[in-house]
């Protein structure tokens, strides 16, 4: 590279940068895109979804199926919880399903996601079956972790799904490593890492996104502004108004999207994925949504102002909005939507029965798989306890 032609911002000559891999595309302006951001509701108006989309009717109905699948799998989990069949807690994404479903639907099968607990929809879109989720929640032997871990804390590399751990933010650097490896392996992979307004306060989030941005890795961070982290409102979590503002600190572009409009979520993520895949680097998507249930089923939500949940339920439910869109635009009639729902219910019944029929794990399985057991013995109880 000609040193004379390269200048830094303070006018000093740039040194030979052996790390520069490819010329960087010019920065796109504006840095925060708001085309699909939420719009103010006019009096008497009912929210629907954007019609500015490339989705065809078949895809739209598939999106509807995933939305309903997510909501109804969670409802079944609540039933199982009340029957004391779920060993741990149940974490709902009620009211924010569109963000997970719409964004994950914009990826290719070879792409990766790492969801948070409220992104069951994304997990289902990536091809994980409800039976695996049910078995996990019920701590069954046939669950993907064999009872070693709970809920969506597992992964399926073949399907591009890497489950989260409870420590928020940790999956951002992990996903950065996935993409670093994909680049070394010359795979055109992009990935979504989901995070919330709470998780963005962690050090790991910053470390991971900063590194991804420096390396220009195709990481899409979907940040769900759902108003609460457990009981803490976003105003006590961060001093920015929009989470998208944080992108500037990493030198990456951001989108603000109506997180309860499944089509908008799809469209924005599709653009972000195209940008990332062609070498643009990391992107932040802020999805404005609302968590209508507590942190988990036990949470009484005493910290939520009265009427807030009701407003979102009545005026801004992602499933209602999408049903209105599908029927008003003539993509489907009520009967068609009911038919899809019936099919979802059938799948859930079948998968739940399968999971319930699984045995609990053999107790001694607790000792296995700390290390590769062909090299290191399982961690059995000491001999002294056996005699």
Partner 1 sequence: MSTALKKEHKSARPERGGVVTLVEAIRQGLWEEMERDPTVFVIGEDVGAYGGAFKVTDGLIDEFGNGRVIDTPISEGAIVGAACGAALMGMRPVAEFQFIDFISAGFDLLTNYAAKCRYRWGAGIPAVFRGPCGSGLRTGPFHSLNPESFFLNTAGLKMVEPSTAYDAKGLIKAAIRDPDPVLFFEHKKLYRLPRLREEIPADDYIVEIGKARTAREGRDLTIITFGAMVLIALDAAEELEKEGLDVEVIDLRTLAPLDKAAILASVKKTSRALVLHEASRTGGIGGEIAAMIGEEAFEWLDAPVLRLASIDTPVPYSPPLEDYYLPQTKDVVDAARKLAAF
Among 38, 95, 130, 173, binds partner 1 (CB under 8 A): 173
Using CA atoms, how far apart are residues 295 and 194, in angstroms rounded to an integer? Answer: 17
Tell me how far, at minimum, the Cβ of 180 lies from partner 1, in Å.
5
Contact 67, 101 (CB under 8 A): yes
DSSP code for 221: E
Smallest Cα–Cα separation from 191: which of 256, 266, 102, 106?
A: 106
Which positions from 213 through 232 interact with partner 1, judged by CB under 8 A?
214-215
Tell me how far, at minimum, the Cβ of 132 lies from partner 1, in Å.
11
Smallest Cα–Cα separation from 262: which of 65, 99, 24?
A: 99
Q: Terminus-to-terminus CA distance in the chain, angstroms?
A: 74
Binding of partner 1 at residue 158 (CB under 8 A)?
A: no
Binding of partner 1 at residue 145 (CB under 8 A)?
A: yes
Place of tokens 């409220």: 118
Among 41, 236, 360, 370, binds partner 1 (CB under 8 A): 370
Supply the DSSP string of 48-81, one letter for each residue.
Answer: ---------HHHHHHHHHHHHHHHHHHHHHHHHH
Is 238 buried (19+), middle (13-18) or exposed (0-12) by CB count in 10 A?
A: middle
Tell me how far, at minimum, the Cβ of 174 lies from partner 1, in Å.
4
Among 33, 154, 225, 250, binds partner 1 (CB under 8 A): 154
Binding of partner 1 at residue 78 (CB under 8 A)?
A: no
Contact 369, 148 (CB under 8 A): yes
Binding of partner 1 at residue 87 (CB under 8 A)?
A: no
Binding of partner 1 at residue 198 (CB under 8 A)?
A: no
Question: Which range binds partner 1 by CB under 8 A, 16-24, 62-70, 273-281, 290-298?
Answer: 16-24
Please list the residues that pair with 155 across neighbouring strands.
162
Binding of partner 1 at residue 194 (CB under 8 A)?
A: no
Query: Could you give phi then psi for residue 90, rounded to 5 degrees?
Result: -115, 130
- Of 96 and 176, nearer to partner 1 (C-beta) is 176
Binding of partner 1 at residue 385 (CB under 8 A)?
A: no
Binding site for partner 1 (CB under 8 A): 18-19, 21, 144-145, 148-149, 153-155, 157, 162-163, 165-167, 170-185, 203-204, 207-208, 210-211, 214-215, 369-372, 375-376, 379, 384
């Amino acid at each position: 590279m000609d040193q004379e032609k390269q200048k830094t911002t303070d006018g000093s000559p740039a040194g030979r940068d052996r790390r520069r891999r490819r010329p960087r595309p010019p920065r796109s302006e504006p840095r925060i895109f708001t085309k699909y951001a939420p719009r103010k509701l006019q009096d008497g108006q009912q929210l629907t979804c954007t019609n500015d989309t490339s989705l065809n009717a078949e895809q739209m109905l598939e999106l509807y199926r995933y939305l309903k699948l997510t909501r109804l799998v969670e409802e079944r989990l609540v039933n199982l919880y009340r029957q004391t069949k779920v060993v741990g807690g149940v974490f709902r994404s009620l009211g924010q399903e569109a963000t997970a479903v719409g964004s994950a639907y914009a990826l290719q099968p070879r792409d990766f996601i790492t969801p948070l607990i409220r992104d069951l929809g994304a997990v289902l879109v990536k091809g994980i079956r409800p039976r695996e989720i049910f078995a996990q929640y019920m701590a069954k032997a046939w669950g993907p972790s064999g009872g070693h871990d709970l809920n969506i804390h597992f992964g399926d590399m073949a399907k591009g799904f890497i489950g989260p751990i409870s420590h928020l933010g940790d999956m951002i650097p992990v996903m950065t490593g996935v993409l670093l490896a994909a680049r070394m392996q010359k795979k055109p992979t992009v990935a979504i890492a989901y995070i919330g307004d709470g998780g963005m306060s962690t050090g790991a989030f910053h470390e991971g996104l900063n590194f991804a941005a420096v390396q220009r890795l195709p990481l899409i961070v979907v940040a769900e502004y759902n108003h609460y982290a457990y009981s803490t409102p976003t105003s006590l979590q961060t001093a920015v108004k929009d989470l998208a503002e944080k992108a500037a600190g990493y030198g990456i572009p951001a989108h603000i999207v109506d997180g309860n409009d499944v089509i908008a979520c799809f469209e924005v993520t599709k653009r972000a994925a195209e940008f990332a895949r062609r070498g643009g680097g990391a992107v932040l998507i802020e999805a404005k949504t609302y968590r209508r249930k507590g942190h988990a089923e036990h949470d009484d939500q005493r910290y939520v102002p009265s009427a807030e949940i009701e407003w979102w339920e009545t005026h801004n439910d992602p499933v209602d909005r999408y049903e209105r869109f599908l029927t008003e635009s003539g993509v489907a009639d009520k009967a068609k939507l009911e038919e899809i729902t019936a099919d979802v219910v059938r799948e859930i019944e079948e998968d739940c029965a399968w999971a319930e029929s699984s045995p609990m794990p053999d107790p001694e399985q607790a000792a296995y798989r700390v290390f590769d057991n062909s090299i290191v013995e399982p961690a059995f109880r000491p001999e002294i306890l056996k005699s």
